[in-house]
Structure 1
Amino acid sequence: MRPRRLVDLRAGRTRVRRLRYPAGDVLIVSGLPGGGKSTLMRRVSGDTVLIDSQDVRERWQARMPRLLPYAVYRPLVRLAHYLGLWRALRSGAGVALHDCGTLPWVRAWVGREARRRGRGMHLVLLDVPVEAARDGQRARGRGVSAYAMARHQRASRLLLRAAEESRLPAACTSAVLLDREAARQLEAIDFDG
């Protein structure tokens, strides 16, 4: 399926095994921590650059002294993440971005960059219950503080509500809403020209 504007695949409305986007476009995968964003991004194929801040954090963590708290080098990790995203957007390849959802300015910036380069920007929004997301965090051996989870919940709720009301970001070409079951059924996300 090649999504156009808003496609709601939650609650078994439609069964889709493959999403297709034009080569060189940008896909933003957003939802709660532990909700399945990384799993979905592993299904992306084609000439696509995957951008996940957790990957950047883990690379930096491997180089830092074990006793050095993450808070000390977090600004460097964020800088490296956004620099990597900027390079990917300039490369001409398709880009799939793991979006924490709490920073709307990132989606706005990505949308502007995509539009400037004549590319589409698409959203995949995971609508997952909080408990399922927490289970996902525990399964991966990660956790998010109660404060951070509350911020993610608010941001996710606002983004989902806006999408449901067809109020997509200005540069957004399409949005797909997925629940846990629809995400499970999705086998591939292709950037195919």
Structure 2
Amino acid sequence: MRVGTAVLSSALFFAPPTPTPDLNTLPEPVPAAARVPRRGAASRGGPTRLDPADPDPSQTSRLDLPYRAFVVVGGVPGAGKSTLLHRLRVTSPRGVFSVRDPEDIRTRWERLLGGRRGYRFWRPLVYLEHYIRLLLALPGRKTIVLHDTATRGWARRLLGLLARLSRRPAMLLWLNVSLAESLDGQRIRGRKVPERTLRRHWRRWSRLRPVAEDGEPGFAAVHTITRDVARRIVLAPAERGR
């Protein structure tokens, strides 16, 4: 057991990074997605999310992704991660993305349990299902887009390791927001993170913010965007063989 733990720890800290593909955010027009947003998709049984509709093609930012990319959307609570993932899901053609967001699982559990009361007790079940679903998606061909605060170093290293083991180029997409924007995002979605938890995330993010653009071990690229850009960004995965 000790030998296995040592091997895993070495892999997490010393594994070589994935080769860097050509990933650039380009402020050029992108055609609107083929899939039309469903009415009520943002509010049916779940928290309110900002503007899930197609962005104006003349104001979008395009981020080209390699084939079978593993994209981690990170940021403090209320930064707009679930909003970005929700818009991606309802505006993208079917069969392109495998979106993994624990908020969707939490909403379903809340319906089953009759409310949010006692969330701290059943929260581990939400994230257990979240990561099981991630593991099941890894062998597939779709581009994976994962919701994770990514403020924990061990979690980023583990996600980078999973990407390498599944032969997926990993990318970290940070949502950089102010404290006021974070609190506003929580107010809009109707879910306020406990103050102690929020302060812990902000301490970690404050340490990470200055070096966010310097790269992250295990990730081919790191991009930091504002919440305004997150509302307009279009992720464009490459087809097989390109």
Fold in common (TM above 0.5): yes
Which one of 88, 96, 101 corresponds to residue 43 of structure 1? Answer: 88
**Alpha carbons 1:101, 1:155 under 8 Å: kept:** no
CA distance in 2, matches of 1:104, 1:62: 33
Secondary structure, in 3 states, of the residue corresponding to 1:75? Answer: helix
Structure 1 equivalent of residue 45 of structure 2 = none
CA distance in 1, matches of 2:222, 2:114: 41
Kindly indicate whether residue 72 of structure 2 is the aligned counterpart of residue 28 of structure 1.
yes
CA distance in 2, matches of 1:87, 1:107: 19
Kindly indicate whether residue 200 of structure 2 is the aligned counterpart of residue 151 of structure 1.
yes
Structure 2 equivalent of residue 3 of structure 1 = 23
User: Whose Rg is larger?
Assistant: 2
Does the C-alpha gap of structure 1 residues 161 and 67 become closer, same or farther in structure 2, counting only changes over 3 Å? closer
**Map of 1:165-176 to 2, 5 A cutoff?**
166=214, 168-176=215-223
Structure 2 equivalent of residue 191 of structure 1 = 237
Secondary structure, in 3 states, of the residue corresponding to 1:91? Answer: coil
Give the CA deviation at 1:111.
1.1
Task: Count residues with an aligned counterpart.
Answer: 181
Give the CA deviation at 1:56.
1.3
Give the CA deviation at 1:84.
1.0
Structure 1 equivalent of residue 111 of structure 2 = 62
Name the structure where strand makes up a greater proportion of residues. Answer: 1
Structure 1 equivalent of residue 122 of structure 2 = 73
Q: Deviations over 1:17-48 (max 9, x none)?
A: 11110121100111121111122222364621
Secondary structure, in 3 states, of the residue corresponding to 2:220? Answer: strand
Give the CA deviation at 1:66.
4.3
**Map of 1:125-144 to 2, 5 A cutoff?**
125-144=174-193
Does the C-alpha gap of structure 1 residues 178 and 67 become closer, same or farther in structure 2, counting only changes over 3 Å? closer
**Alpha carbons 2:79, 2:185 under 8 Å: kept:** yes
Give the CA deviation at 1:153.
0.8
Q: Deviations over 1:97-131 (max 9, x none)?
A: 11123433232122112112221100111110001
**Map of 1:83-98 to 2, 5 A cutoff?**
83-98=132-147
Secondary structure, in 3 states, of the residue corresponding to 2:155? Answer: helix
Residue 120 of structure 1 aligns with an amino acid whose one-letter code is P
Task: Using the aligned pairs only, state the percent identity.
Answer: 34
Does the C-alpha gap of structure 1 residues 183 and 71 become closer, same or farther in structure 2, counting only changes over 3 Å? closer
CA distance in 1, matches of 2:23, 2:191: 32
Q: Mark the runs of 5 or more structure 2 residues left unpaired by the alignment.
A: 1-21, 28-58
CA distance in 2, matches of 1:54, 1:47: 21
Q: Deviations over 1:78-105 (max 9, x none)?
A: 2111111111223332110111234332
RMSD: 2.3
Structure 1 equivalent of residue 226 of structure 2 = 179
Structure 2 equivalent of residue 12 of structure 1 = none
Does the C-alpha gap of structure 1 residues 180 and 65 become closer, same or farther in structure 2, counting only changes over 3 Å? closer
State TM-score, norm by structure 2: 0.67
Give the CA deviation at 1:158.
2.8
CA distance in 2, matches of 1:177, 1:72: 33
